[in-house]
Structure 1
């Protein structure tokens, strides 16, 4: 039987059903974020297909479309490129209420909203459906037109104010939130672990100087600090990584400083110094592995904080810029509809933010209990 410390931590973590459910939810989000355009109903770049007559349609709405043009110059991309960047549509289609075929003509009634009915538009059948010839062996012209040029689409979460598929943009928003959270946590870990370990190990004036700097950053509101950094770096997606990372490292540094101060006088660290190991090796190889548990806990908590900061920045216009899909920007675009008949436009991304942050918080609590951070006895 494997009685390793990591095995014991994992078994203890699994017994916490809420934390384990949070982990499963996060892994599901990661999978959806990786697959991206492969699973989105709208696979165009940024899921930015705008159909204005279909704006603010309720979840579950189904509409009939007719393809009126095909662009052979747009080539299909490979699987991985489509997964990462999407696929430009090679057809032009419009929503309709009805259509009818008369001889070699197609009379289409476009959908212009629930309030009125548009006039019919006439198209040449052989222009929009070259296969639909009267003497085709594949079937009648009506059958071929129905097969190749008519389709239905269901908007499972409805459409936004621009007529874009909300489900597709919600899925792509996962990428923004998780990628910002991941990069911000990596940046905060690099800065926080480095400064905290140096301050805790050397002490004295070095500790006093680093601690003063940490207290100054700690005293600044996180959102205001991120906005100030964003002003300096400019608006954009990549700038958010740096801005959020530079605002969340203090928690890590304070934790690491305290843990290193507690460990630097224990026997195995004294033995490492007596054997002539240099300072960096002593810290990296002998001290940091013994405080990995508390670092993981604070990293998970910072992940949730980074997601909240990113959504706040996007809501204020400093985060991911249109047409990139972001949960924060989706709330910004639709918060006015909360008191109207389309509250779901802001509620759904808000619910996604809430559930994701909650999942990371319960994961942090589960890790804290599994590693027994409060009562942890450090062993060699």
Structure 2
């Protein structure tokens, strides 16, 4: 056998060995990289998150700084703040009714909106995993009780209940995150329950039962890792839903209260017809960022669903 043939066989053997030891997550990431829209969405979200983290270094003004009209009279005590200044060389996206820089408040608003979405989804996932895994694993009366509670919560109109609860507790960042998290876990609970009902009948669970492993270890060590793909997809899309809900509540005055900026309460200042027609810089930038963020999370969620689906071709 020639030397070149041996080298080719060795290279093929190494390639086969490398492919054999690839984990499911490595395979899923390779599939995701082939999805250009999903990777573009991931890049956009990365820029938004990085901007929110580095807001203190990106913007030339403080978050609530009131900027005076003219440089010549800026030192005068009686000078009044600018009233909704249009975009110019000093303020690339203009100012609001108090003379605050729109670009600065957009960056800081992204920090609050993304944080609210992240914390709310974290609460949803934790509650949904606990309820769904317990219901799916034990079944019977436990499953019936937990799922009926889930059905009752799903029957209520989400936004109406959220507005009512926030109105009672008072609008704040903490209350908004709490309400979205406590009312939005039903979907992931049903997903986790359905998959665990199927997984608990598999052979590896019979082996775990024969070994006498305690129930908590069966659930968190053997069952939940097999459900993580669905949980990740739900969390990604849940971020989009949570950001939209926060924006809606803030726009209605029931979310995060000024002067703390979010994309939702920034759009609230443009509720008048005059502002909609003549002060476009007040509502188009926060509306566009909300739209692009929600779309990016949804597209990334679709890409993750396809990448993590074992039935998809590699």
- TM-score above 0.5, yes or no: yes
For residues 112-127 of structure 1, the aligned pairs below 5 Å read none
1:161 maps to 2:97: yes
Distance 1:316 1:113, change over 3 A: closer
Paired residue for 2:75? Answer: 68
1:20 maps to 2:39: yes
Paired residue for 2:207? Answer: 271
Q: Is the 8 A contact 1:300 1:361 kept in 2?
A: yes
Paired residue for 1:362? Answer: 299
1:215 maps to 2:215: no
Q: Is the 8 A contact 1:338 1:347 kept in 2?
A: no
Paired residue for 2:57? Answer: 38
For residues 1-380 of structure 1, the aligned pairs below 5 Å read 1=18, 3-43=22-62, 47-51=63-67, 54=69, 64=71, 68=75, 154-336=90-272, 337=274, 339-372=276-309, 375=311
Q: C-alpha deviations, 1:100-140, integer Å up to 9, x for none? A: xxxxxxxxxx99999xxxxxxxxxxxxxxxxxxxxxxxxxx
Distance 2:123 2:169 in 1: 16
Paired residue for 2:12? Answer: none
Partner SS, residue 155 of structure 1: coil
Partner SS, residue 269 of structure 2: helix
Shift of 1:222: 1.7
Shift of 1:68: 3.0
Q: C-alpha deviations, 1:187-234, integer Å up to 9, x for none? A: 001100000001111111111111111111111222112223323432
Distance 2:184 2:44 in 1: 24
Q: Is the 8 A contact 1:22 1:363 kept in 2?
A: yes
TM score, norm. by length of structure 1: 0.72
Distance 1:279 1:321 in 2: 45
Shift of 1:338: 5.0
Higher relative contact order (CA 8 A, sep 6+): 2
Distance 1:158 1:64 in 2: 16
Distance 1:9 1:165 in 2: 42
Distance 1:339 1:329, change over 3 A: closer
TM score, norm. by length of structure 2: 0.86
Distance 2:153 2:186 in 1: 7
Distance 1:364 1:257, change over 3 A: same
Distance 1:28 1:154 in 2: 23
Distance 1:255 1:193, change over 3 A: same
Coordinate RMSD, CA, aligned: 2.4
Partner SS, residue 335 of structure 1: coil
Q: Is the 8 A contact 1:41 1:167 kept in 2?
A: no
Q: Is the 8 A contact 2:84 2:97 kept in 1?
A: no
Q: Is the 8 A contact 1:331 1:346 kept in 2?
A: yes
Partner SS, residue 160 of structure 1: coil
Q: Give unpaired runs (5+ residues) of structure 1.
A: 55-62, 70-91, 96-109, 115-151
Shift of 1:66: 5.8
Q: Is the 8 A contact 2:162 2:179 kept in 1?
A: yes
Partner SS, residue 304 of structure 1: helix
Q: Is the 8 A contact 2:132 2:192 kept in 1?
A: yes
Q: Is the 8 A contact 1:314 1:320 kept in 2?
A: yes
Q: Is the 8 A contact 1:315 1:332 kept in 2?
A: yes
Q: Give unpaired runs (5+ residues) of structure 2.
A: 1-17
Runs of 4+, deviation exceeding 4 Å: 92-95, 110-114
Distance 2:257 2:72 in 1: 30
Q: Determine which structure has more spread, i.e. the larger CA radius of gyration.
A: 1
Q: Is the 8 A contact 2:84 2:96 kept in 1?
A: no
Q: Is the 8 A contact 1:331 1:349 kept in 2?
A: yes
Say how many residue pairs are matched.
290
